[in-house]
């Protein structure tokens, strides 16, 4: 149709899965270190890329929410270290809180007592690592269009993906309806606060949500949503076994990679589980035949974006094995963390999407059902 190439070019054409792979790889790199300088560099990289590429769409505001969530996690981790103590022994006392005596069955736990600089610093490093992981996930949410990501899911996950995208899409609409109705009531001189105002605003909002749900159900029924093809019983059993076994393998492999004891078996189990899960999803997709309207493709830019994130994750994993002291600075005795040069240079590879991808690649908002229209086979 005329004008489609221009509209497509305005979206940037980058596959939304590339943003997720880039962000998850940066999150993986964050889990391999507690060095606050490297973690701060990772946060700076994600913040710069999000600031240069996010659009005015509703989902792009999620990055600020994840930033606040990461800050809350960091403060909560420090509060636990101060109130409940830390397993790290220390000699530099910052303050001494009144200690609450606990019964004998609560041995190993204390409330109050001596707060050391070593324990607080250890909690700061640990909380900063978790906060960086959350911010990386927030970057993926801010950069990837959820509606475009839906049509890239395998057919076996299409129903679950539609439910998630519909929930993410319609929640902002409910908030917008509530704000619009409250503004209208203020213009008419009617109360918009308190219990009475809340009840009088809630009813129109719920009525609008019900009408929207009915219209959505009619649109889904008209598109043949939920239909499945006939698949032999052996194929269904094989699909279930591969998917379940693959997901268990992914969980076991991820646990192995995140722990020091599972470093030998973590990666092979993770790769085998991922292969089994992908095979199960491919077989499961045969039950849900559908066509895609203007499907997203993996172009050179998408490969470079995903590859830059993977390079950061691989480099940080190798650095954690080659020089663990640089990536995990000690707190006993208290020493200032140093910035290792080649891991820092590897983290800077995560900036490549800021220069390779044109701004606005997330694309405009779209209705979740318009991105993957099901047609009769």
For Cα atoms 29, 33, 36, give the angle at the middle one, nearest 5 degrees.
Answer: 110
DSSP one-letter code for 327: H
pLDDT of the residue at 364:
45
Amino acid 160: pLDDT: 66
pTM over 0.75: no
pLDDT over 70, % of the chain? 72
- What burial class does residue 19 get, using C-beta atoms within 10 Å of its C-beta: 0-12 exposed, 13-18 middle, 19+ buried? buried
* DSSP structure string for 57-112: SGGGGHHHHHHHHHHHHHHHHHHHHHHH--SS--S-EEEEEEEEP--GGGTT--EE
pLDDT at position 6, please?
35
Task: Give 37's pLDDT tier (boundaries 50, 70, 90).
Answer: very high
Across residues 159-184, what is the average pLDDT? 69
Which pair of tokens denotes residue 315? 């480099």
Give me 168's structure tokens.
């993410």
Asked whether 372 and 151 are in contact (CB, 8 A), the reply is yes
The residues that bridge with 96 in the sheet, in sequence order, are 114
Task: Give the Cα separation of 137 and 139 in Å (integer).
Answer: 5
Please determine, for residue 118, whether its predicted confidence score (pLDDT) is greater than 60: yes
Q: Using alpha carbons, select from 205, 86, 223 the residue that is nearest to residue 151.
A: 223
Residue 204 pLDDT: 77
pLDDT, tens digit (0-9, with 9 covering 90-100), for 130-153: 999 999 988 988 888 776 776 666
Tens of pLDDT, residue by residue over 51-87, are: 888 777 766 777 888 898 899 999 999 998 888 877 7
Please determine, for residue 242, whether its predicted confidence score (pLDDT) is greater than 70.
Answer: yes
Question: Which of the given ranges, 9-13, 239-243, 244-248, 312-316, has the highest pLDDT on average?
Answer: 312-316
pLDDT tens string 317-367 = 888 888 888 888 888 888 888 888 999 999 999 999 988 887 655 544 444
Q: What is the mean pLDDT of residues 222-242?
A: 72
pLDDT given at position 233: 75
- Residue 259's Cβ-side half-sphere holds a number of Cα atoms within 13 Å equal to 10
The number of angstroms, rounded, from the C-alpha of 267 to the middle of its chain's C-alpha atoms is 21
pLDDT in tens, 264-306: 777 788 888 888 888 887 777 666 666 666 667 788 888 999 9
Q: Residue 75: what pLDDT?
A: 93
Report yes or no: 144 and 50 within 8 Å, Cβ to Cβ.
no
54 closest CA partner among 367, 368, 366, 361: 361
């Amino acid at each position: 149709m005329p004008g489609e190439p221009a509209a497509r070019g305005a979206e940037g054409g980058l596959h939304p899965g590339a943003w997720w792979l880039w962000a998850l790889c940066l999150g993986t790199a964050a889990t391999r270190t507690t060095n606050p300088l490297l973690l701060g560099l990772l946060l700076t990289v994600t913040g710069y890329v999000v600031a240069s590429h996010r659009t005015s769409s509703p989902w792009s505001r999620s990055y600020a929410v994840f930033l606040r969530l990461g800050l809350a996690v960091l403060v909560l981790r420090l509060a636990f270290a101060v109130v409940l103590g830390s397993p790290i022994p220390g000699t530099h006392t910052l303050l001494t809180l009144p200690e609450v005596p606990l019964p004998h069955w609560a041995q190993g736990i204390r409330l109050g007592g001596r707060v050391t600089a070593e324990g607080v610093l250890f909690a700061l490093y640990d909380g900063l690592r978790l906060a960086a992981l959350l911010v990386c996930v927030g970057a993926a949410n801010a950069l990837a269009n959820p509606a475009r990501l839906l049509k890239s899911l395998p057919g076996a996950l299409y129903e679950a993906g539609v439910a998630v995208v519909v929930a993410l899409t319609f929640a902002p609409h409910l908030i917008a309806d509530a704000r619009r109705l409250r503004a209208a009531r203020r213009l008419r001189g009617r109360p918009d606060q308190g219990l009475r105002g809340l009840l009088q605003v809630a009813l129109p909002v719920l009525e609008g949500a019900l009408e929207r749900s009915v219209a959505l159900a009619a649109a889904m029924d008209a598109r043949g949503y939920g239909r499945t093809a006939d698949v032999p019983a052996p194929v269904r059993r094989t699909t279930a076994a591969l998917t379940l076994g693959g997901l268990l393998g992914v969980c076991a492999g991820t646990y192995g990679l995140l722990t020091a004891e599972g470093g030998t078996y973590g990666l092979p189990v993770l790769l085998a589980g991922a292969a089994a899960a992908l095979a199960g999803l491919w077989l499961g997709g045969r039950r849900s035949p559908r066509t895609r309207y203007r499907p997203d493709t993996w172009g050179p830019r998408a490969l470079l974006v995903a590859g830059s994130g993977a390079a950061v994750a691989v480099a940080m994993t190798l650095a954690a094995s080659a020089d663990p002291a640089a990536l995990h600075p000690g707190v006993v005795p208290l020493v200032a963390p140093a910035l290792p040069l080649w891991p820092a240079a590897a983290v800077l590879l995560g900036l490549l999407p800021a220069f390779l991808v044109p701004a606005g690649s997330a694309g405009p908002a779209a209705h979740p059902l318009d991105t993957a229209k099901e047609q009769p086979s």
